[in-house]
Structure 1
Amino acid sequence: MLSRGLTYQKPKKQRETKAIGTGTLFAANMRYQAKGPWIEQAVESMLLSNQTSAQVFRECGATACTDITGFGLLGHLLEMVNASNVSVELELAAIPILPGAIETVQAGITSSILPKNFRSSIYIKNSLEVSHLANYQLLFDPQTSGGLLAYIPAEKADQCINKLKTFGHKQSCLIGRVISAPEAMSRAIIII
């Protein structure tokens, strides 16, 4: 993810190392409604170890890092936001999504955990404006062996992404920015 601070704080970027969508894809698979290539790509992503990406993040000066698992991308991002007392702008269109995940969500096929994860949507300041977007629901999709999410200094962003991709994390990308905010706006997520 991409994060950027105010003038008194060093800019930081937020990054993610794997595409999301395993929850909906495997729910579809259990209903015999997933295509073979979708599941193959999801399994391939799940088998990619996070050990190397954790090392790259450490080398690039990550100030916070978490894996994306059962609480979904938004739930784990929220844990980081609460612990850091910051706000985050999350670029929805930049988040990598596994093939087939949009189709299964649009067909109404979701993990049984999704409704519980969806409760964290109250922390999205502009949820009414973005909740109709196809990939919005995937923010709450629980992941099995998901990627890592980290705050990285802005000046190390390109180096970090390139290094992650070199080690096989082809879906690695910037997905947002951290904003130092007044107390009234801290601990908020804004989707852009």
Structure 2
Amino acid sequence: MLGSQGDRAAARLNLLLPHLQSGRNMATQTTDFHQQPHKLLLIPGPIEVTDDVLFANAHPSMSHVAPEFIPVFGDCIRMTRKVLLTSDGQPFLIAGSGTLGWDQVASNLVEPGEHALVLNSGYFGDSFADCLTVYGANVDQIKAQVGDAVAVSDIEKALKTKKYKVVTVTTHFDWRCIGYQGSGFTRQTAFA
């Protein structure tokens, strides 16, 4: 019985692996796969995904402790570095809610009394600041109205004023909310 389950798992993995190869363009494989027409989601989550992403998710799940998952996780780290415009930063990929990530940052990266800068464009920025405060961080915030940008000049001014242990941005943000102009982020910026 176990052998047949192992054979089925290996067969499923063989179907999945070609789609996980680094740099592979799945568009050629998904020409017959398209989402049904639907209303566009414009909320923090769940989010809109492309047909390619939905197609990739149409394969069996893989255990996060399986040897076959190692290259998949490596690809995730590589692609996250690309999104964050860094080649040597160490992103932390966490399976959980945003509040789990905030808690991990606040409890593990910031000691009581250390300074944290929160780029705040609304509810989630407020919540991240609250979490850091609970763990004893001295929190400064640069606030923008929802839908408005935090000015880059305000960020630069804050970074010149004092040394921050972390600078936080919540992941639901629109690039406009932090004044991103395509020049990239410095190594002084931590994403959480």
TM-score by length of 2: 0.27
The structure with the larger Rg is 2
More relative contact order, 1 or 2 (CA 8 Å, 6+ apart): 1
Greater per-residue strand proportion: 1
